[in-house]
Amino acid sequence: MNNRWSTLRSGLSVLAAVVLTGIGVAVARPASAADSSPYQAQVFTRGYDTTKLATLTFDLDWRTGTPAENAVSRTNLETVLRVFAANGITAGFGVTGRFAEQNPAETRDIAARGHKIFNHSYSHPDFLTLTRAQRWAQLDKAEAAFRAAGVNSAGWFRTPYRSGYMNAGVNRDLALRGYYINLDWTFDTTGYRAADWATVSSRIDRYTVPGAIIVMHVTTPSTDPGNLQLIIDKLKGMGYGFTSPYHAVTRAPIRTAYFGAGGPSSVFGAPTTAPMQATTAGTAVQWFQRGRFYHSPASGTHFVTGAILSKYRSLGTVTSFLRYPTADERHGAAGGYYSTFQGGSVYWLPATGAHEVHGAIRTKWFTLGAEAGILGYPQSDEVAVSVGRASRFQHGNVYWNSSNGAHEVHGAILTRYLALGGTGSRLGPPTSDEYTVAVGRRSNFRHGAIIWNSAARTTTVIYT
């Protein structure tokens, strides 16, 4: 380690102690819309746990050294992974792009074992000395190396040297590039300085608190790999258990729902933001790689994902008329899916895409069997028509207006009705569903009716 690195670490150890006492840095920021992209990356110097739980992490960046030095560093990494596996611990690894570029197999192995990788820049520069463009270049180049190795950071970052980790400009630049989690640490064992066990043990005594995130280092001359089992045993002796980075950045009730669904190994992948207030106090939303979890006291905690989430987002999520989800996504008829919300539903089928149904039109559709009924899946969102509102389904339409309520029109009668101009025609809006008559079927409208003759297979329009 160079002198500058040691100086930065020494100075920032004091700042770590300040953070532990609860004295933070207040950063003014503009108000943001509910469920919108975070304005700045959320800095985690500790996880959310208030019980005796700690998260273990390692930083991993080694330049090409002598064959002997590289062999020691690789052995150190093997030791770290073996000890974690033996203790059933899921850890975090701040990995530089150049490490991933030079060691793709080792990088894949870290992720394959379930550990969380976070972007530690490409070449480990001091981010306070870089322009926005240079910061983004570091992030992008590192992520490209991760992709080439078959892994990704999911928008997690750790600041090199811990320099500027609380800087508003740095964290704004991270957020603008899609990095919403800045996983810092509570304290460093200082094993990177070749610290002896007495020094490391003393730091554990002084700085370990509930939710602590502990940083260690792999590269020679670090003593952390050799001391790792001692560190684990000491923390256990202090009454501490271990929690993963995925746990550290989530909290109940979303944490409970997320891990109940399978956690990072599920369809959702890793969290990509911290928990955020969704609308009012007591509500929450957290983004994941492939979905979002929402919570409100009235609706509970539920996820939205895939094409249904895309539709929900296009409507404004929790600030839209749909408001909060009231159930997780479920299977529908014919291989489709649907999610229910406080103000309506969104249904998806590959052939139709995702569309919302709400209000009186949804109520009518439900009485007809919803997606499994005569109308099938929605093919449009609800739209305004010349008289009232309408939704189009696979096999018919439902029309609504305040005078006549909601009624369906389908089949040959719908074809004739649309040819005449629908609600804007002389017939006006429907006043009944289709029903059976002597010659076949009939639908009534405000100014007439359409009758379908089942024998002749013709339609007749009657005006009143």
The percentage of residues in the chain with a pLDDT greater than 70, rounded to a whole number, is: 92
- Averaged over 203-226, what is the pLDDT? 97
Which pLDDT does position 68 carry in this prediction? 80
Give a yes or no: residue 439 inside a domain: no
What mean pLDDT do residues 147-171 have? 98
Domain membership of residue 188 (yes or no) is yes
Contacts of 332 (CB under 8 A, 6+ apart): 338, 347, 348, 349, 371, 372, 377
Are the C-beta atoms of 118 and 142 separated by less than 8 Å?
no
Residue 72: the pLDDT is 85
Q: Is pLDDT of 19 > 90?
A: no
Of the pLDDT bands very low, low, confident and very high (cuts 50, 70, 90), residue 58 is: very high
| Section 170-187 average pLDDT | 98
Please give the pLDDT value at position 23.
30
Number of domains in the chain: 1
Confidence of residue 20 (pLDDT cuts 50, 70, 90): very low
Please give the average per-residue pLDDT across 274-286, as a whole number. Answer: 97
Residue 460 has pLDDT above 80, yes or no: yes
Min mean pLDDT across 9-23, 58-72, 107-121, 195-209 is at 9-23
Q: Which tokens is 64 given?
A: 């090409």
In this prediction, residues 25-35 reach a mean pLDDT of 61
For the stretch 327-345, pLDDT in tens is 999 999 999 999 999 999 9
CATH number, domain containing residue 105: 3.20.20.370
Distances (CA, A) of 446 to 231, 360, 420, 423: 80, 18, 14, 9
* Structure confidence by residue, pLDDT tens digits, 114-147: 999 999 999 999 999 999 999 999 999 999 999 9
Structural element, H or E, at residue 277: none
What mean pLDDT do residues 70-76 have? 87
Domain membership flag for residue 431: no
User: What is d(CA 4, CA 9) in angstroms, rounded to the nearest whole number?
Assistant: 9
pLDDT in the model for residue 96: 97
354 within domain boundaries: no
Check pLDDT > 80 for residue 65: no
Confidence band for 27, pLDDT divided at 50, 70 and 90: very low
Backbone angles phi, psi at 400, to 5 degrees: -140, 140
pLDDT at position 448 = 98
User: 224 near 191, Cβ under 8 Å?
Assistant: yes
Query: pLDDT: is 66 or 161 the higher one?
Result: 161
With respect to residue 371, please indicate whether it lies within any of the assigned structural domains: no
Terminal alpha carbon distance of the chain: 92
Residue 74 CB-density burial (10 A; 0-12 exposed, 13-18 middle, 19+ buried): middle
Rounded CA-CA distance 95/116 in Å is 10
| 284 φ, ψ (degrees, to nearest 5) | -155, 155
What kind and span of H or E run contains 411? helix 411-420
Total residues belonging to the chain:
464
Across the chain, mean pLDDT equals 93
The DSSP call for residue 159 is -
425 and 417 in contact (C-beta within 8 Å)?
yes
pLDDT digits (tens, 9 = 90+) for 300-328: 999 999 999 999 999 999 999 999 999 99
Instruction: Tell which phi-psi region holds residue 316, choosing left (phi > 0), alpha (psi between -120 and 50) or beta.
Output: left
**Residue 69 in this model has a pLDDT that exceeds 50:** yes
Domain presence at residue 358: no
By C-alpha distance, which of 357, 250, 344, 360 is closest to 301?
250
In a domain, 20, yes or no: yes
How high is the pLDDT of residue 30? 58
User: Is 167 domain-assigned?
Assistant: yes
The residue segments making up the domain with residue 148 are 3-248
* pLDDT recorded at residue 429: 98
What totals of helices (H) and strands (E) does the chain contain, helices first? 13, 24
List, as one string, the DSSP characters of 71-97: HHHHHHHHHHHHHHHHHT---EEEE-H
